């Protein structure tokens, strides 16, 4: 069975300009991601992997090159359309969790569905279900500061799953966790991949990258080995 292509990057570059210097962060990145891939992008700090992640996540713009998401050229979209696209097709898992400190577990998880216009009863039902499968059924009304790091990252994963996105983008998801919790998070990601999600993982640890099916190495804004 031929796999459907989700992402195609064509010669992506990214430069940051200040008055004095121009920093070249990405220098012509091209690669494709197919449905149900599990890709780890690995590179040292400063390699441009986080910028690449932000571009794939539609959070940042490119300086040149083309980015096709599900076959559509994303450079044509305006800010609000990009927001909608992020909302429906991408689930984010950040290194620092990025949970709202004053909101409960449930309130954090339902955030993406609020912007998707899902009704209140439906989104609460769904969030509860997801949290139960991730072993947080008894933490629904806790605040982030009442949870361990591992639990917080699982809340963040639950949030990423809320709108059933095809693609999960995980940026150093284990970076702030102890080894045990990190392993748990990787297990969840692998599980999700088995259930059909496409996963792109950013990391600087070879140990973590090993969990992925494909490893992409990036240094100085270029892909080394595919």
Partner 1 sequence: MEVTELITLALKSLTANKLRSFLTTLGIIIGVFAIILLVSLGTGLQAYIANQIQGLGSNLIFVIPGRIGGARTPGGVVANKLSVQDAQNIELKLRDIANVAPVIQKNSSLKYKNRENKGTSVLGTTANYTKTVQNAVIEKGTYFTSSQEISGTKVAVVGQTVLKNLFEDEDPIGKRLFIGNNIYTVIGSLKKRGAIFGFDQDNTVIIPISSARRQFGLNQVNAIYVSVENENLIPFASEQIKKTLLKKLTEDDFTIQTASSSLEIVTNVTNILSLALGGIAAISLLVGGIGVANIMLVSVTERTREIGLRKALGARRNDILKQFLLEAVFLSVSGGIIGIVLGIGASLILARFFVSVVTPWSIFLAFGFSVAVGVIFGMAPAIRASRLSPIEALRYE
Cβ neighbors of 205 (< 8 A, separation 6 or more) are 42, 174
What is the dihedral angle through the alpha carbons of 67, 5, 133, 178, rounded to the nearest 10 degrees?
-60
Candidates 44, 71, 114, 207; binder of partner 1 (CB under 8 A) is 114
Binding mask 1-40 for partner 1 (x = CB under 8 A): ----------------------------------------
Report helix, strand or coil for 122: helix
Least distance to partner 1, CB of residue 76, Å: 17
Give yes or no for residue 60 binding partner 1 (CB under 8 A).
yes
Q: Which is nearer to partner 1, 83 or 206 (CB)?
A: 83
Copy the structure tokens of residue 166: 């095809």
Q: Stretches 39-47, 113-121, 187-195, 212-220: which one binds partner 1 (CB under 8 A)?
A: 113-121
Give yes or no for residue 100 binding partner 1 (CB under 8 A).
yes
Q: Which is nearer to partner 1, 60 or 220 (CB)?
A: 60
What are the φ and ψ backbone dihedral angles of 27, each rounded to 5 degrees? Answer: -120, 65
Torsion sign (Cα): 75, 214, 193, 187: negative
What are the strands of the beta sheet with 167-171, ordered from one edge? 90-93, 167-171, 198-203, 38-42, 214-219, 222-223
For residues 226 and 29, the answer to whether their CB atoms sit within 8 Å is no
Q: Which is nearer to partner 1, 49 or 211 (CB)?
A: 49
Give yes or no for residue 112 binding partner 1 (CB under 8 A).
yes
Give yes or no for residue 87 binding partner 1 (CB under 8 A).
yes
Q: Which residues bind partner 1 (CB under 8 A)?
A: 54, 57, 59-60, 79-80, 83-84, 86-88, 92, 94, 98, 100, 102, 111-112, 114-117, 120, 159, 163
């Amino acid at each position: 069975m031929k796999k459907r292509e989700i992402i195609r990057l064509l010669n992506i570059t990214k430069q940051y300009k200040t008055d004095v210097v121009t920093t070249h962060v990405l220098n012509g990145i091209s690669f494709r991601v197919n449905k149900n891939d599990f890709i780890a992008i690995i590179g040292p700090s400063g390699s441009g992997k986080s910028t690449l992640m932000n571009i794939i996540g539609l959070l940042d713009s490119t300086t040149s090159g083309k980015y096709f998401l599900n076959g559509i050229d994303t450079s044509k979209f305006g800010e609000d359309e990009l927001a909608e696209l992020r909302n429906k097709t991408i689930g984010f898992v950040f290194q620092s969790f990025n949970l709202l400190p004053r909101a409960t577990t449930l309130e954090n998880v339902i955030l993406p569905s609020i912007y998707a216009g899902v009704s209140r009863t439906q989104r609460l039902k769904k969030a509860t279900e997801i949290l139960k499968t991730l072993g947080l059924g008894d933490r629904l009304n806790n605040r982030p500061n009442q949870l361990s790091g591992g639990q917080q990252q699982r809340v963040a994963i639950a949030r990423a799953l809320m709108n059933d996105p095809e693609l999960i983008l995980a940026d150093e998801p284990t970076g702030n966790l102890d080894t045990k919790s990190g392993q748990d998070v990787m297990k969840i990601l692998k599980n999700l991949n088995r259930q059909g999600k496409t996963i792109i993982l950013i990391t600087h640890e070879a140990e973590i990258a090993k969990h992925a099916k494909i490893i992409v190495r990036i240094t100085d804004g270029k892909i080394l080995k595919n």
